[in-house]
Amino acid sequence: MSARPALVCLGLCAALCAVAEPVEFNRDIRPILSDNCFACHGHDASHRKAKLRLDVRADALAKEAFVPGKPEASELVKRLFLTDPDEVMPPPESHKTLSKEQKELLRRWVAEGATYQNHWSYDLPAKAAAPTVDTAIDTLVEARLRAKGLRPVGEADRRTLARRLHLDLLGLPPTPEVVDAFVADRAPDAYARLVERLLASPHYGERMAQGWLDVVRYADTIGYHSDTPRNVWPYRDYVIRSFNQNKRFDRFTLEQVAGDLLPDTDVESKVGSGFNRLLLTTEEGGAQAKDYQQRMLTDRVRAIGAAWLGQTTGCAQCHDHKFDPFTQRDFYALGAFFADIHEPDIGRREEGMLVVTPADERRLAELAAAVNRARQALESALGGLGAELAAWEKEAIEDLAPAVPPAAPKAKAKGKAKSPDAALAAKAPAILQKPAAKRSAAEQSTLRDYLLSLHPEALKSQRDAVAAAQREHDAFRAGLPKSLVTTKAAVVRTVRILPRGNWMDESGEVVKAAFPHYLPQPKLDGRTPNRLDLARWLVSRENPLTARVTMNRLWMQFFGTALSKNPGDLGAQGELPPNQALLDWLAVEFMDSGWDVKHMVRLIVSSRAYRRASATPAELATSDPFNRELARQSPYRLDAELVRDNALAIAGLLVPKVGGPSVKPYQPDRYWENLNFPVRTYAADQGESQYRRGLYVWWQRTFLHPSLLAFDAPSREEACTDRTRSNIPQQALVLLNDPTYVEAARAFAGRTLATAGNDEQRLTWAWRQALQRTPEASELATLRQVLAERRKSYLADPAAAQAFLKVGLTPPPTTVAPAELAAWTHVTRVLLNLHETITRE
Amino acid sequence: MSLPPELQSALTRRAFLGRTTQGVGGLALASLLGPAALAAPGPSGALARLPLPQKAKRVIWLSMAGGPSHLETFDPKPKLAAMHGQPMPESFTKGQQLAQLQGQKLTCFGPQHKFAKFGRDQTEICELFPQIGSVLDEICLIRSMTTDAINHDPAHMFMNTGSQIAGRPSMGSWVTYGLGTEAADLPGFVVLTSLGKGGQNQPIAARQWSSGFLPSKHQGVQLRSKGDPVLYLSNPPGVSRDSQGGDVDAIAKLNLHRERFVADPEVATRVAQYEMAFKMQASVPQLMDVKDEDPKTLALYGCQPGDGSFAANCLLARRLAERGVRFIQLYHKDWDHHGGVKDGVALKAAEIDRACMALITDLKRRGLLDSTLIVWAGEFGRTPMSQGNGRDHHNKAMTVWMAGGGIRGGLVHGSTDELGYAAVDKVATVHDLHATMLHQLGVDHDAFRFKFQGLDAKLTGVEPCKVIKDILA
């Protein structure tokens, strides 16, 4: 295989380079120790072997693990090279083995003095010197390329740049006209103007929201067991709006974690506080409150860890983290910040806060007033009904069987009249048996309602008016958006450290809210911090993690891979970013700018690094196969939602409306057959809701829409900081056969046939819609062949053409012969299925 | 020199690319590329060499969803019958986790059906299962299983993934990730579900067959008895196999043409996946179409073609096993007998008894039983205490059985206490069950790991667990 010699060279080079440079703890040593040694010789005291810890130099020295400068006298080094299975480290039962190079590195590290460094991401980021803010990214990228001896590729062609910017900033493809205009625009600021135009688009917020919704695990359903719906979509719109308005990320954080506690709390910040309610909940019968209290606490700690801190916290539910300093106490103390949230432990969530515009609010008040007016009219009419009521009451008392025990509702079964209202009927006998003087006002009122319910003919018009006003009010209210938000509970839950995570074991110490002990602590003057303190701490200048974590993820959106490649873990088992100076510069600039997201996006997409071509020259393919050094751009397949958006946009079907309730595209019958409590059937939306963007698709956690799932959309049961990007047969089945894509192909064909020209011109037109480039002769020839063959087969089988054209809700154009439209639909279907069509290059 | 795994994987893809860029159209690719090429990093999965002898090549896992009562199936408890109606001794239940019975008065509830003796050792199982009894010498009953979770959803997660936290890979994904698949044109991990007639059909989340943090190609693919057997499998109406093939061919041609300029290995993978999808469009309907089965075979299972029953799924499981599918999981629902456990279990027995016997018998006569590990398991057991005329969820005791795949038949392993409340002898955990399954597949559960969030994640979790050696043939 031809690639092998090149790779051997690479390995050799790495070894040579390592010899030239002094060993650096964070880069060279910590990854080895963390992965191979810390599980038994690290933070977790309860599992520590031989009382030796290697993560703290003083402790390692105290136990004589090594003698700095003297590898031959160091136990640690000796043990690495032993062959006796009882003596060698790591021991065979750990299934860990060190390579020769790793052993040699450890030996050299000890020889060079065994110096330690703090873990990189726990020190505050520092801003490397750069001539100007605008050129800093390239200064830092190119400094590293020079050091590595890598030559960057040139700028991508302008068509690719326009396509890349549209897909990265809006998630929608450009039209060929937009690309042509950009290609023709030779003004020096053409690129900058395009960027500004896209940043100002309402679809920018949609594109940015998608990644955040993964991180906070936004979904329309509760997740556990019955996976029933809950009201949260206004939170999704809040996220979109926040990005569109370029809400500062610190404010964005405050609102989500503690929007209810802000001094200037308002509808917006309360909807944002819905973040705290996005977790998994259950309505399963037999679920135990304490079990789910614990599940919800742990769920929230993991989410905060993933979204803001880039720390994997989950393991500390049961024991101290094995690799990071995050202890079990830290875990429960972080969870205790959320112990004030008002919510049921198990069962149905509340309907949520009404999220209304001032106009809605006025209308609601008017309708409520109308109900009151109707009630008053009824009341005054009732005043003239005293005699009747007394008579009815007497009748009702007589209807009660003699010696019936109080509150036995079956008594009324003997009566002549039967109330249609079961609830009133159940309460009435007990009230009727009380002497009138001893009845409370509420009981009097219930009794009156009961008596009226027995006599529906009385005051019919007044009562109908009340009912009608109430119906109108309720219908309007039911149609208003509602969203789960955070409110403070009257009683704060007690949080204990649960031994081994066992909620049945209440022997653990009670803990109060506290910040992870190994990170900088804010001054609180002895006060126990609350959620608002947590939110402020997350986005304080002293927090070394949040800005790095956020910038790391943002980078991933524009390059396909994050600077530290596991965006959910900047701890010891994460990756020291190859270009730490760059990540740190971005983090500090982000804070310096006042947490200005658009500013950072602008800096990134304006950089030379971003604008490079993504084709990989052979030399880079071997010297930097995973493009960690950024001498080029990377091509990657669009995210699940964007695969959909792209097809609908090209087809001309996309309804570009922003926000609103979630939508239900076509879905295979019985896909929800395994849902229960209640059994559900899926009803696909009619009309414009069928053609909305992917991020609005109903997010059913346990059965996510199968065409999104096929393209790796996460179920959002847990925070997802990094989607997988798979390439599987189900994706082909979706793009070929899902009615959404078949209908899109037909609409695309209809658009194509509506343009003037011969086959060749139309094929070219369609090609340019999908790919914004002109097809080559051989490409056209392939499409021509599809067209010719399908024309022939559909002319021979008109029924097949008719059947094909019936897919989807939109009626096919009647001006085109069915066989012709069907044949063209095959052509456009091919275009929508191309790898290039679903790839951002 | 050993290459890092991600580089090896990239190399495999590039090698693959080298073979596909010779200007071959999509349809011809099928003959050039075996399924092996699709299952990078290699035909044998992530485990290039198996550390242990492989006794079982595949698994058929029969998930009895809802939590079957061990007390009306495989665990006879005469003492419980004698104490029927009496208070449950507090010594058993004090401080224990219960589901709906938490805080209620606890009363012993005797087994609702008689037990009868079967097999060479005259082992007692419930008389509702005479067909299973007739093959009991092939079966190993583990009467000492326990689990951690006590509600359906977390318990299914625990049984499938070894964790109660969503996002972990299902065991079928682990197995196909490790071993790859031998099926040329079918997914390596297939899931089938069936409903019971008793109306206690608890929901099952698709996460139960998710690949979690493993590559998505290892996710379970659900085969459905009605509609498209695989989602989006059928061509759109009016599109023939020929014209679908023509389009797939054109897509491949255009993709490979473009590949010359972009040098992106994903393009070649894309072409191969379209090819695989196109093949599945033919192979899956063939699989589902059982008309070539001998009527005697249908009679053995007691099903009608395409009736969607558990029995029909058992027959499909055998067909999948024959085609080399690695992990076949059947869910049969409706075992959640909070009330009416007597009639409920009788109904379930009627639905599964013959089918289980037929699956074992059919695999055996085709010489496949030795290489196929069958596991029958709920997500938890049920209380010996009454809940009306039913039983509550229970995680301290349940019976699981295994057959084939190098397991000792005719064996009873472990036991519960005299009232069937808790496993007491040779207690087995879900992780032990997973470790044992992996062991039979030739995999050392402790060394079978995948890096996730910095951890060496394992199906069998972080707590120590053991292969149940006593039950191995």
CATH number of residue B119's parent domain: 3.40.720.10
Q: Is the pLDDT of residue B29 over 60?
A: no
Cα B127–Cα B128–Cα B131 angle in degrees, nearest 5: 90
Best of A294, A736, A773, A821 to disrupt the B interface by mutation (most B CBs within 10 Å)?
A736
Nearest CA in chain A to B277: A729
A789 in contact with B, Cβ within 8 Å: yes
Q: Cβ atoms within 10 A of the Cβ of A274, count?
A: 28
Q: Are B453 and A728 in contact (CB < 8 Å)?
A: no
Residue spans of the domains in chain A: they are 15-117, 205-354+489-543, 358-480, 639-710+727-841
Q: In this predicted model, what pLDDT tens digit does every residue of A385-399 receive, in sequence order?
A: 888 888 888 888 887
Residues contacting residue A427 through CB under 8 Å, at least 6 positions apart:
A446, A450
Please indicate, yes or no, if residue B434 is contained in any of the structural domains.
Answer: yes
Mean pLDDT of B395-416: 97
CA A450 to chain centroid, in Å, comes to 50
Residue A33 Cα distances to A41, A53, A144, angstroms: 9, 11, 26
Q: Output the CA torsion sign for B259, B261, B264, B265.
A: positive
Please indicate, yes or no, if residue B207 is contained in any of the structural domains.
Answer: yes
Q: Which residues of A touch B203 (CB under 8 A)?
A: 225-227, 674-677, 702
Nearest CA in chain B to A791: B243
Query: What string of DSSP letters covers B312-345?
Result: HHHHHHHHHHHTT-SEEEEEE-----SS-HHHHH
Label residue A291 exposed, middle or buried (CB < 10 Å: 0-12, 13-18, 19+): buried
- For residue A382, what pLDDT band results from cuts at 50, 70 and 90? confident
Please indicate, yes or no, if residue B3 is contained in any of the structural domains.
Answer: no
Tokens of A232: 């949260």
pLDDT, greater one: A363 or A403:
A363
Query: Cα–Cα distance between B250 and A782 in angstroms, integer?
Result: 6
B329 has which bridge partners? Answer: B61, B191
Please indicate, yes or no, if residue B29 is contained in any of the structural domains.
Answer: no
Q: Indicate whether B241 and B348 sit together in one domain.
A: no
Q: Indicate whether B363 and B444 sit together in one domain.
A: yes
Q: Are B273 and A731 in contact (CB < 8 Å)?
A: yes
Residues contacting residue A16 through CB under 8 Å, at least 6 positions apart:
none
In contact, B163 and B446? CB cutoff 8 Å: no
Q: In this predicted model, what pLDDT tens digit does every residue of B409-422 receive, in sequence order?
A: 999 999 999 999 99
Q: How far apart are the first and last CA of chain A?
A: 27
Q: Are B266 and A670 in contact (CB < 8 Å)?
A: no
* CA-based nearest residue to A234, from A201, A202, A205, A267: A267
Q: Indicate whether B140 and B261 sit together in one domain.
A: no
In contact, B265 and B16? CB cutoff 8 Å: yes
Last residue of a domain, one of B291, B315, B339: B291
* CA-based nearest residue to A155, from A119, A194, A191, A120: A191
Q: Are A737 and B235 in contact (CB < 8 Å)?
A: yes
Q: Indicate whether B416 and B280 sit together in one domain.
A: no
- From the list A7, A284, A804, the residue facing B239 with the nearest CB is A804
Q: In this predicted model, what pLDDT tens digit does every residue of A276-315 receive, in sequence order?
A: 999 999 999 889 999 999 999 999 999 999 999 999 998 8
Q: Is the pLDDT of residue B462 over 90?
A: no
Q: Indicate whether B72 and B135 sit together in one domain.
A: yes
Best of B27, B264, B332 to disrupt the A interface by mutation (most A CBs within 10 Å)?
B264
Q: Indicate whether B375 and B317 sit together in one domain.
A: yes
Label residue A88 exposed, middle or buried (CB < 10 Å: 0-12, 13-18, 19+): middle
Kind plus residue range of the DSSP H or E element containing B394? strand B390-394
Work out the minimum CA distance from A315 to partner chain B, whole angstroms.
9
* DSSP classification of residue A490: S
Please indicate, yes or no, if residue B83 is contained in any of the structural domains.
Answer: yes
Query: Cα–Cα distance between A828 and A822 in angstroms, integer?
Result: 10
Work out the minimum CA distance from A318 to partner chain B, whole angstroms.
11
Q: Which amino acid is at A582?
A: L
pLDDT value of position B16: 36
Q: Are B449 and A732 in contact (CB < 8 Å)?
A: no
Query: Cα–Cα distance between B194 and B312 in angstroms, integer?
Result: 9
Q: In this predicted model, what pLDDT tens digit does every residue of B150-179 receive, in sequence order?
A: 999 999 999 999 999 888 999 999 999 999
Last residue of a domain, one of B260, B291, B322: B291
- From the list A568, A625, A734, the residue facing B7 with the nearest CB is A625
Token look-up 């803990």 returns A511
Q: Is the pLDDT of residue A784 over 80?
A: yes
Q: Is the pLDDT of residue B135 over 60?
A: yes
A741 in contact with B, Cβ within 8 Å: no
Q: Are A732 and B273 in contact (CB < 8 Å)?
A: yes
Q: Which residues of B touch A224 (CB under 8 A)?
A: 151, 153-154
Secondary structure percentages of chain A, helix, strand, coil, to 5:
55, 0, 45
* DSSP classification of residue A125: P
Label residue A681 exposed, middle or buried (CB < 10 Å: 0-12, 13-18, 19+): exposed
Q: Are A717 and B154 in contact (CB < 8 Å)?
A: no
Q: Which residues of B touch A718 (CB under 8 A)?
A: 165-167
Q: Indicate whether B220 and B255 sit together in one domain.
A: no
Q: Cβ atoms within 10 A of the Cβ of A23, count?
A: 19
Mean pLDDT of A579-607: 98
Q: Which amino acid is at A506?
A: E
Q: Cβ atoms within 10 A of the Cβ of B31, count?
A: 8
Work out the minimum CA distance from B319 to partner chain A, whole angstroms.
21
Q: In this predicted model, what pLDDT tens digit does every residue of B84-128 receive, in sequence order?
A: 999 999 999 887 777 788 888 999 999 999 999 999 999 999 999
Q: Are A291 and B203 in contact (CB < 8 Å)?
A: no
Q: Are A635 and B266 in contact (CB < 8 Å)?
A: yes
Query: Cα–Cα distance between A482 and A350 in angstroms, integer?
Result: 10
Mean pLDDT of B260-289: 92
- A positions 615-644 inside 8 Å of B (CB): 615-616, 621, 625-626, 635-637
- For residue A818, what pLDDT band results from cuts at 50, 70 and 90? very high
Q: Are A614 and B278 in contact (CB < 8 Å)?
A: no
Q: Is the pLDDT of residue B35 over 60?
A: no
Q: Which residues of A touch B15 (CB under 8 A)?
A: 1
Q: What b/e readout covers A454-463, taking b as 16+ CB neighbours within 10 angstroms?
A: bbeebbeebb
Work out the minimum CA distance from A155 to partner chain B, whole angstroms.
15
Q: Are A702 and B1 in contact (CB < 8 Å)?
A: no
Tokens of A723: 């989607």
- For residue A52, what pLDDT band results from cuts at 50, 70 and 90? very high
SS (H, E, C) A590-640: HHHCCCCHHHHHHHHHHCHHHHECCCCCHHHHHHCCCCCCCCCCCCEECCH
Best of B21, B165, B240 to disrupt the A interface by mutation (most A CBs within 10 Å)?
B165
Residue B53 Cα distances to A728, B337, B369, angstroms: 31, 41, 17
pLDDT value of position A422: 83
Q: Indicate whether B106 and B219 sit together in one domain.
A: yes
A221 has which bridge partners? Answer: A229
Q: In this predicted model, what pLDDT tens digit does every residue of A483-498 receive, in sequence order?
A: 999 999 999 999 999 9
- A positions 57-86 inside 8 Å of B (CB): none
- From the list A615, A731, A826, the residue facing B261 with the nearest CB is A615
Q: Are A736 and B447 in contact (CB < 8 Å)?
A: no
Mean pLDDT of A1-12: 38
Q: Is the pLDDT of residue B243 over 90?
A: yes
| A147-156, A417-426, A471-480, range with the lowest pLDDT | A417-426
Between strands B381-387 and B390-394, the pairing is antiparallel
Residues contacting residue A128 through CB under 8 Å, at least 6 positions apart:
A136, A140, A581, A584, A585
pLDDT, greater one: B74 or A12:
B74
Q: Indicate whether B328 and B343 sit together in one domain.
A: yes
Mean pLDDT of A374-392: 87
Mean pLDDT of A729-737: 96
Query: Cα–Cα distance between A763 and A773 in angstroms, integer?
Result: 12
A314 in contact with B, Cβ within 8 Å: yes
Torsion of CA A616, A618, A624, A630, to 10 degrees: -30
Residue B232 Cα distances to A62, A288, A710, angstroms: 64, 40, 11
Q: In this predicted model, what pLDDT tens digit does every residue of A184-239 receive, in sequence order?
A: 999 999 999 999 999 999 999 999 999 999 999 999 999 999 999 999 999 999 99
Query: Cα–Cα distance between B106 and B111 in angstroms, integer?
Result: 16
Query: Cα–Cα distance between A802 and A807 in angstroms, integer?
Result: 9
- A positions 120-149 inside 8 Å of B (CB): none
* CA-based nearest residue to A826, from B366, B275, B243, B412: B243
Q: Which amino acid is at A445?
A: S
- For residue A456, what pLDDT band results from cuts at 50, 70 and 90? confident
Establish whether the linkage from the previous residue to A90 is cis, with ω within 30° of 0: yes
pLDDT value of position A756: 94
pLDDT value of position B396: 96
Backbone Cα Rg of chain A: 33
- From the list B152, B254, B262, the residue facing A841 with the nearest CB is B262
Q: In this predicted model, what pLDDT tens digit does every residue of B427-448 receive, in sequence order?
A: 999 999 999 999 999 999 999 9
| A69-78, A495-504, B25-34, range with the lowest pLDDT | B25-34
Cβ-defined contacts of A404-411 (< 8 Å, 24+): A404/A429, A406/A430, A406/A433
Q: Cβ atoms within 10 A of the Cβ of A183, count?
A: 15
Nearest CA in chain B to A280: B166
- For residue B44, what pLDDT band results from cuts at 50, 70 and 90? low
Q: Indicate whether B361 and B446 sit together in one domain.
A: yes
Tokens of B143: 């009467």
Q: Is the pLDDT of residue B15 over 90?
A: no
In contact, A462 and A378? CB cutoff 8 Å: yes
What SS3 state is found at B64? strand
Domain holding B109, by residue range, is: 52-225+306-471
- Looking at chain A, the number of H-run helices and the number of E-run strands are 35, 4
Q: In this predicted model, what pLDDT tens digit does every residue of A613-641 receive, in sequence order?
A: 998 888 888 899 889 999 999 999 999 99
Q: Indicate whether B179 and B237 sit together in one domain.
A: no
* Count: domains in chain B: 2
* CA-based nearest residue to A575, from A302, A323, A215: A323
Nearest CA in chain A to B153: A225
ipTM: 0.88
Q: Indicate whether B162 and B263 sit together in one domain.
A: no
Between strands B189-194 and B221-222, the pairing is parallel
Best of A708, A730, A783 to disrupt the B interface by mutation (most B CBs within 10 Å)?
A730
